[in-house]
Amino acid sequence: MDIEFLAKYYKFFISGTGITLFLSFFGVIFGVVIGVFLALMKLSEKPLIRMPATAYIEVVRGTPLLVQLFLIYIGLPKATGIAFPDLSLAIIAVSLNSAAYVAEIIRAGIQSIDKGQMEAARSLGMTHSVTMRYIIIPQAFKNILPALGNEFIVLVKESAIVSVIGIHDLMYKADTVRGISYKPFAPLLIAAVIYFSITFTLSKLVGNLERRLSAGDPRK
């Protein structure tokens, strides 16, 4: 792998990296939003609310992302009659997948909060929903921020699978360069270095965040 090769194809890798980060970022954002609702549904005492969320989480966590991606990519346009952009379909698939894992993270975070806080708030006249919104969930999110950061790191790596439906992410661009340069190894090596650089940087940021949150916790 020489300098000339990098100078000729670096724009492919830059644009692919941008798509990968864009997809992963919105996948986690939407995954968190959906995951909050799934977690609250799973914690409900009403079976009609709890059971659908539990079933969704188990099915998504028990099936490959590749299968889910194709189901969304092929099934959603047919079911709705809407021609979604490919990138939008990829974000939807990744978000729905991430939501199942985020829901379990959030559920564990909520359950880690002392039940006495809910009882104290209710004794002061606060409703269950208000207590969850202003007392329980904010504390839970503080506890689970490192875990959500790790989910983002996992999603960056798993997002490479969207290249199979033609999304021009980093992996797709690496395959494109392999085809036009007739160099099967070098583009993959560059992609691997970029993926590692992203995930290593994110893991360090997550580690720093975790240490700061631990230092600010009076219980530790």
**Band of residue 11 on the pLDDT scale cut at 50, 70, 90:** very high
The arrangement of secondary structure in 3-215, i.e. its CATH architecture, is Orthogonal Bundle (1.10)
CA 163 to chain centre: 17
In this structure, of 3-12, 134-143, 150-159, 172-181, the range with the lowest mean pLDDT score is 134-143
| Measured distance CA(10)–CA(180) in Å, rounded | 13
Tokens 């997948």, located at residue: 97
Reported as a single tens digit per residue, the pLDDT across 41-75 is 998 889 999 999 999 999 999 999 999 999 999 99
104 has a pLDDT exceeding 80: yes
In the chain, % of residues over pLDDT 70: 95
**Amino acid identity, position 130:** V
8 Å CB contact between 44 and 50: yes
Whole-model pTM?
0.85
Backbone conformation region of residue 125, classed left if phi is above 0, alpha if psi is from -120 to 50, else beta? left
Task: Give me the pLDDT at residue 26, please.
Answer: 94
Helix (H) or strand (E) holding 63: none
Task: Average the pLDDT over 143-158 and give the result.
Answer: 87
Tell me the domain boundaries of the chain: 3-215
8 Å CB contact between 20 and 163: no
Q: And the tokens for 150?
A: 């790790």
Task: Give me the pLDDT at residue 1, please.
Answer: 55
Spell out the residues 6+ positions from residue 175 whose beta carbon is closer than 8 angstroms to its own: 163, 187
8 Å CB contact between 196 and 128: no
Task: Give me the pLDDT at residue 219, please.
Answer: 54
The rounded mean pLDDT for the chain is 88
Among 92, 107, 102, smallest CA distance to 26 is for 92
Reported as a single tens digit per residue, the pLDDT across 170-210 is 999 999 999 998 888 899 999 999 999 999 999 998 888 77
